[in-house]
Amino acid sequence: MKDNKNKLKMVLLIGAFFLCGILYFSLNAGSKKEAVVTESFADQSGETKGKKETSDSKTEAVVYIYICGEVKNPGVYTFAEEPHFIDVVQKAGGFTKKADKLSVNLAEVVKDGTQLTIEKKRKGKAAQEEQSSHGMSSADEAGKINLNTASLEELDTLPGIGPAIAQRILDYREEYGGFTRVEELKEVKGIGDALFAQIQEDVTVDEPSESKRDGYVQ
């Protein structure tokens, strides 16, 4: 009888020991899980905050420029920093055919809140007087560009004529002693009938050069 009681006590002690062990490990595991969740939440919060600060820093500097007149898409445009004049023109779709490109400085830096107005080309005597005041003598009194005296920059203002074709025009002029008629532009590489039709009213020639290539009949 006494042995049975001792055995019962031993069983109860062993059971109590296992129960305490189970409780201990359960509580310890719960604490670790809570610590992991807390750490993960902190990391996510920090990442979100970092992204928000980065996003805010990107949107802090906004420059507003209004461009109107002879551009394809007049309006207000935004930039991350103060742009150059040419950047604003490009964002507005570029110049129209009537734009007076020589009246603006494309390299100029434009400040926030500036209004840019692109004027039309001026014709006749007014255009001649204005061009003379800027030291430009390659345009006649009708405001046309003289193919035999124009600079590369002036030729570049013609619609569809970029720096590369403008240089070819100068090379042609140098090689053959000048132009005797406007139609000779079509002999320059890159100028076909369509492009010639766009610019023929904007160009002219002076008296034929004596050094014009042999065999040409005026």
pLDDT tens, residue order, the chain (218 aa) = 656 667 677 777 777 777 777 777 676 665 555 554 455 555 565 565 555 555 555 556 799 999 999 999 999 999 999 999 999 999 999 999 888 887 888 889 999 999 999 988 765 444 444 545 554 445 554 678 999 999 999 999 998 898 999 999 999 999 888 899 999 999 999 999 999 999 999 999 875 445 445 544 44
Domain segments of the chain as ranges: 57-121, 123-213
Which pLDDT value is given to residue 27?
A: 67
Tell me which DSSP letter residue 213 carries.
P
- Tell me which amino acid residue 87 is: D
Which pLDDT value is given to residue 206?
A: 77
Which pLDDT value is given to residue 147?
A: 92
- Can you list the positions of beta strands (E) in the chain? 63-69, 75-79, 115-118, 145-146, 203-204
For tokens 């992991």, name the residue. 36
Which pLDDT value is given to residue 13?
A: 73
| CATH number for the segment(s) 57-121 | 3.10.20
Give dist(CA 28, CA 22) in Å, integer: 10
Which pLDDT value is given to residue 19?
A: 73
Which pLDDT value is given to residue 215?
A: 46
Sign of the Cα pseudo-torsion (175, 177, 178, 180, in order): negative
Q: How far is CA 124 from the centre of its chain?
A: 35
| Helices then strands, each counted (H, E), the chain | 6, 5
User: CB of 143 within 8 A of CB of 127?
Assistant: yes
At 43, give phi and psi (nearest 5°).
-65, -45
Give dist(CA 14, CA 167) in Å, integer: 102
Cα Rg, the chain, nearest whole Å: 40
Model confidence pLDDT, tens digit, residues 43-93: 565 565 555 555 555 556 799 999 999 999 999 999 999 999 999 999 999
CATH class of the region 123-213: mainly alpha
Cα dihedral 109/111/113/118 (nearest 10): -20
Residues near 151 by beta carbon (within 8 Å), at least 6 away in sequence: 138
Which pLDDT value is given to residue 89?
A: 93
Say how many CA atoms lie within 13 Å of 28 toward its Cβ: 6
